[in-house]
């Protein structure tokens, strides 16, 4: 199924909202810079940087990929690692 709206219609509808979200992010980074103390090396900053970089890509699944940046990995061997048998 396709979106019913044309690309110009989507941009018309969402431009101000997207602009506002970028501004909010910019202001959050400024606020971090002005604040006392240091957060360098905090892994959450790395996740944010990766996510922002991904927004510039051409890929069609950016929302899914941003989700994965902020997700813990799944191990197919999780049962052995946790000691869980399938049968109760």
Partner 1 sequence: MYYFDPHIHMVSRTTDDYETLAKMGCVGMSEPAFWAGFDRGSVESFRDYFRQLTDFEMKRAAQYGIQHYTWLCINAKEAENVELSREIIAMIPEFLDLPNVLGIGEIGLNKNTRNESVIFLEHMELAITHQQQILIHTPHLEDKYQGTRMILDMLCGDARLDRSRVLVDHVEEHTVRHVLDAGFWAGMTLYPVSKCTPARAADMIEMYGPDRLLVNSAGDWGPSKPTAVPDFVLEMRRRGHAESLIRKIVYENPLTFFRQSQNFQFTPPDVLAESPVEG
Residues that bind partner 1 (CB under 8 A): 1-5, 61, 63-64, 67-68, 70-74, 76, 78-79, 82-84, 86-88
Cβ 83 to partner 1 shortest distance, Å? 6
Cβ 50 to partner 1 shortest distance, Å? 14
Nearest residue (CB) to partner 1, 56 versus 71: 71
How far apart are the C-alpha atoms of 52 and 57, rounded to whole Å? Answer: 10
């Amino acid at each position: 199924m396709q979106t019913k709206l044309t690309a110009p219609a989507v941009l018309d509808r969402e431009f101000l909202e997207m602009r506002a979200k970028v501004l909010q992010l910019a202001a959050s980074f400024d606020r971090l810079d002005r604040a006392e103390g240091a957060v360098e090396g905090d892994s959450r900053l790395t996740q944010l940087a990766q996510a922002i970089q991904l927004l510039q890509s051409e890929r069609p699944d950016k929302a899914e990929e941003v989700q994965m940046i902020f997700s813990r990995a799944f191990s197919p061997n999780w049962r052995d690692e946790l000691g869980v048998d399938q049968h109760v």
